[in-house]
Amino acid sequence: MAASIGSLSLPAVPNGWSGEKDFKAVGKLSAATARNIEPVGAHFLAEARRKRHKRTFSEDER
Amino acid sequence: FLDMSAEEEQPSRVAIGISFGNSYSSIASTVGGGDPKVIANEEGDRQIPSILAYVDGEEFHGTQAKSQLVRNSKNTVAGFRDFLGKDFKSIDPTTARGAAQPQEHESTVAFSIRDSESESPSTVTVSEIATRHLRRLAASASDYLGKKVTAAVITVPTDFTQAQKAALVKAAKDADIEVLQLITEPIAALLAHDRREDHRPADKTVVVADLGANRSDVAVVSVRGGMYSILATTHDYAVGGLKLDETIQEYVAKEFVKKHKVDPRETDRGLAKMRLESEACKKALSLGSSASFAVESLANGIDFTLNLNRTRYDMLAGKVYGRFVQLIQDAIVKAELDVLDIDEVLVSGGTAHTPRIASNLGSIFPESTQIVAPASDAAAINPSELTARGAALQAYMIESYDTEDIDQSTHAAVTVTPHLAKSIGLVLTGDEFKPIIPAETPLPVRRTVNFTATSDSEAALIRVAEGIRDIKITQPEPKAKQNGKATDNDEDDDEDEDSEEEDEEKRETMWKVGNVVGELALKDVKKGSKVTVQVQVGADLEITMSAMVAGKSGVKGSVPGSAANGAAH
Ligand SMILES: Nc1ncnc2c1ncn2[C@@H]1O[C@H](COP(=O)(O)OP(=O)(O)OP(=O)(O)O)[C@@H](O)[C@H]1O
Ligand SMILES: [Mg+2]
């Protein structure tokens, strides 16, 4: 399920850029916040089922 | 959770949704998976007063019990929900408002009422009162459904303690109702509201303002991928519809005193009549621009009628309105957000019918914020029905599950989840930032976006970064004094209004590029190329990004996470 987000202008790869297999890791994500998801609604129930069966995204597209 | 086998093992339940308020309760059912419907009781009420009254041992409930507040207040019990699971010292006994006074009884709260034919009163605990009330509600639902109701999802405030929840579950059990789940009022309201879109609700940040009778409660909720997380809540236990009734009551009393030199509030009966009529008058003012306040024999046998228009009422109620707005603003501050971050304000509870409250909210939020209330949104669901409908939807979803499965899924091990601290998106030309996954999204998450490239290059840089939401404030241009004629032909009388608007500073959100996480070089991105980017973040914060041009092979990479489950908040 892909969302369409219109038109974007991407920068060109700068001179001297290098990455292994065209990929470069730069930094890490900020630490996450632990919060409570309300155990309510169809999407939560599907998520809880997914957790229980340890399904991956590709087996059960969200 | 949701093992299909559960359906066979479980003796089949008949489950409904119950909204149990201090002043009104409602019952709802989806009747086999359709739209939730709020059920009217035998008297035809969908908002059933949470009141019980006893006359010569006979029990009255709802509206019939409410009218006993005038003649038989000592044997009428009202405003008791928030006494459940509490000891006497921690309750506010004034919320009983003219009905039977709550008393200390062992470790709980009780009422001394004549609930049998015997002359001497008996001591009835709040738990027993709640049981009787819930039994009556379930009986009305059973009547309507033609099947005995055996289970329910019941809504509770977000600040209900474990002890209050346990007391409510026990009171329901004693009424032969199995509580499948207690869900919070704001989330029940949102669930019912979001059902308007039958697909998954869009990602959004919502303020749910539940404006009741005794109390008002606000929750700031992040909705991501159809899942709800509460970011902050605020509560005011002393502001709600009853305060609005009081403003009318005081106004009328003063007028009455002026005319008849006697205060109708001096007798319990006079006061009780005023309370009931003030509420009726207030409700009428939500619909019409004026309403009459009419009571027979208000004091000293004098009948009294007075006409109140909405403008005057809104003036009288201005201070109370201000407290609702304040409570909402406090919640947004507590969530470390700004009014600009709020996509929707869902106003629920009976007091949400008040037109002026919706328009006051309209003026503190930007135009982009949708105020969902009857006065501002024709498609808004009746705010008095939102929580019961949400509870009915949830009841339908889980009624066939094993009790054990429900308990497990509501356990912290399942519900406590790491949420993204910052939005993740792409860095575009000119250091512009385009968000893809918003902050406060629970992990794991995967999002895929498609867009059309407007740039042309050998290889484009897909730069994935965190974004920081900033607020840009533009001060108004110092305006040239109006000498002679202004450019447009404004009439004198709108000039003031116009200049006020122009003098306001302009506030808007904008993105700043934060921490860059990874970069991909994507070849052959031509003007007009269709590009797909996918970003996936695991519960351990490992982030995987991939990009491809339609019909060509793509590039992919991932950065391991540092912190496992995130810091507690
Ligand atoms: N049409 C209306 N216009 C204005 N006020 C209304 C209207 N309908 C109901 N109310 C008011 O809403 C209040 C009841 O709201 P609600 O049913 O949400 O309360 P509750 O949940 O029982 O109370 P609390 O949240 O304090 O426990 C009452 O004060 C009632 O007078
Ligand atoms: Mg309420």
Kindly provide the ipTM of the predicted complex, given to two decimals: 0.91
Q: Kindly report the backbone phi and psi dihedral angles of residue B323, in degrees, each rounded to the nearest multiple of 5, phi listed first.
A: -70, -30
Ligand nearest to the CA of B78: 1
State how far residue B463 is from chain A, nearest Cα, in angstroms. Answer: 9
Taking the centre of ligand 1 as the mean of its atom positions, its distance from the CA of residue B75, in whole angstroms, is 23
Sequence-distant (6+) residues with CB within 8 A of B433 are B425, B426, B427, B465, B467, B511, B512, B513
Predicted local distance difference test score (pLDDT) of residue B212: 97
Ligand nearest to the CA of B240: 1
Q: CA–CA separation, B266 vs B261, rounded Å?
A: 12
Residuewise pLDDT in 10s, chain B (569 residues): 444 444 445 568 999 999 999 999 999 999 877 899 999 999 999 999 999 999 999 999 999 999 999 999 999 999 999 999 999 999 988 877 789 999 999 999 999 999 999 989 999 999 999 999 999 999 999 999 999 999 999 999 999 999 999 999 999 999 999 999 999 999 999 999 998 655 778 899 999 999 999 999 999 999 999 999 999 999 999 999 999 999 999 999 999 999 999 999 999 999 999 999 999 999 999 999 999 999 999 999 999 999 999 999 999 999 999 999 999 999 999 999 999 999 999 999 999 999 999 999 999 999 999 999 999 999 999 999 999 999 999 999 999 998 888 988 888 888 999 999 999 999 999 999 999 999 999 999 999 999 999 988 889 999 999 999 999 999 887 766 555 444 444 444 444 444 455 567 899 999 999 999 999 999 989 999 999 999 999 999 999 999 999 988 899 999 999 754 433 33
- Within an 8 Å CB–CB cutoff, is residue A38 touching chain B? yes
Taking the centre of ligand 1 as the mean of its atom positions, its distance from the CA of residue B279, in whole angstroms, is 9
State the CB neighbour count (10 A cutoff) for residue B162: 8
Taking the centre of ligand 2 as the mean of its atom positions, its distance from the CA of residue B91, in whole angstroms, is 17
> Taking a C-beta distance cutoff of 8 angstroms, is the pair B564, A29 a contact?
no
- In this complex, do B228 and A19 lie within 8 Å of one another by their Cβ atoms? no
Q: CA–CA separation, B18 vs B389, rounded Å?
A: 8
- Determine whether B227 is exposed, middle or buried from the number of CB atoms within 10 Å of its CB (0-12, 13-18, 19+): buried
Q: CA–CA separation, B384 vs B25, rounded Å?
A: 9
- In this complex, do A33 and B188 lie within 8 Å of one another by their Cβ atoms? no
Taking the centre of ligand 1 as the mean of its atom positions, its distance from the CA of residue B388, in whole angstroms, is 14
Residue among A8, A13, A45 whose CB faces B434 most closely = A8
Ligand nearest to the CA of B82: 1
In ligand 1, the atom with minimum distance to the C-alpha of B241 is: 29
- Within an 8 Å CB–CB cutoff, is residue A59 touching chain B? no
Place of tokens 């007028």: B255
Ligand nearest to the CA of B373: 1
Q: CA–CA separation, B39 vs B31, rounded Å?
A: 10
Q: CA–CA separation, B242 vs B520, rounded Å?
A: 60
Instruction: Give the pairing type, strands B108-113 and B102-105.
Output: antiparallel
Q: CA–CA separation, B131 vs B81, rounded Å?
A: 11
- In this complex, do B519 and A24 lie within 8 Å of one another by their Cβ atoms? yes
- In this complex, do B226 and A44 lie within 8 Å of one another by their Cβ atoms? yes
Identify the closest residue of chain B to A24 by CA–CA distance: B519
Taking the centre of ligand 2 as the mean of its atom positions, its distance from the CA of residue B31, in whole angstroms, is 24
Vertex B200 angle, CA B444 and B469, to 5°: 60
Predicted local distance difference test score (pLDDT) of residue B568: 35
Predicted local distance difference test score (pLDDT) of residue B7: 45
Q: Please list every protein residue whose CB sits less than 6 Å from any atom of ligand 1.
A: B 21-24, 47, 81, 212-215, 240-242, 279, 282-283, 286, 349-351, 353-354, 384
Which chain B residues have a beta carbon less than 8 Å from that of A48?
1-2, 409, 414
Helix H, strand E, coil C: the string for A26-45 is CCCCCCCEEEEECCCCHHHH
The model's pLDDT over A1-60, given as tens digits with 9 standing for 90+, comes to 688 999 999 999 999 999 999 999 999 999 999 999 999 999 999 888 877 766 554 443
Sequence-distant (6+) residues with CB within 8 A of B130 are B20, B80, B81, B84, B167, B168, B171, B172
Would you say the C-alpha torsion B96, B76, B65, B270 has a positive or negative sign?
negative
Sequence-distant (6+) residues with CB within 8 A of B317 are B244, B247, B354, B356
C-alpha dist (Å) from residue A43 to A59, B156, B409:
16, 21, 13
Instruction: Give the pairing type, strands B24-29 and B15-20.
Output: antiparallel
Ligand 1, atom 24: nearest CA belongs to which residue? Answer: B212
> Taking a C-beta distance cutoff of 8 angstroms, is the pair B172, B60 a contact?
no
- Within an 8 Å CB–CB cutoff, is residue B525 touching chain A? yes
Identify the closest residue of chain A to B525 by CA–CA distance: A10
Place of tokens 């304040």: B326
Q: CA–CA separation, B197 vs B369, rounded Å?
A: 18
What one-character DSSP code corresponds to residue B4? T
Give the residue, out of B19, B20, B22, B24, with the most ligand 1 atoms within 8 A of its beta carbon, to mutate for a pocket test: B24
Q: CA–CA separation, B394 vs B401, rounded Å?
A: 12
- Within an 8 Å CB–CB cutoff, is residue B536 touching chain A? yes
- In this complex, do B225 and A31 lie within 8 Å of one another by their Cβ atoms? no
Q: CA–CA separation, B68 vs B83, rounded Å?
A: 21
Residues of chain B numbered 372-391 and touching chain A (CB < 8 Å)? 390
Please name which of B386, B421, B427 lies closest in space to residue B189, comparing C-alpha atoms.
B386
Residues of chain B numbered 433-472 and touching chain A (CB < 8 Å)? 434, 436, 440, 442-444, 446-455, 457-463, 466
B38 forms beta bridges with B28
Taking the centre of ligand 2 as the mean of its atom positions, its distance from the CA of residue B20, in whole angstroms, is 8
Q: CA–CA separation, B429 vs B426, rounded Å?
A: 10
- Within an 8 Å CB–CB cutoff, is residue A15 touching chain B? no
Q: CA–CA separation, A54 vs B412, rounded Å?
A: 17
Predicted local distance difference test score (pLDDT) of residue A47: 85
Q: Kindly report the backbone phi and psi dihedral angles of residue B290, in degrees, each rounded to the nearest multiple of 5, phi listed first.
A: -150, 160
Q: CA–CA separation, B349 vs B380, rounded Å?
A: 13
Residue among B2, B420, B426 whose CB faces A45 most closely = B2
Q: CA–CA separation, B261 vs B411, rounded Å?
A: 62
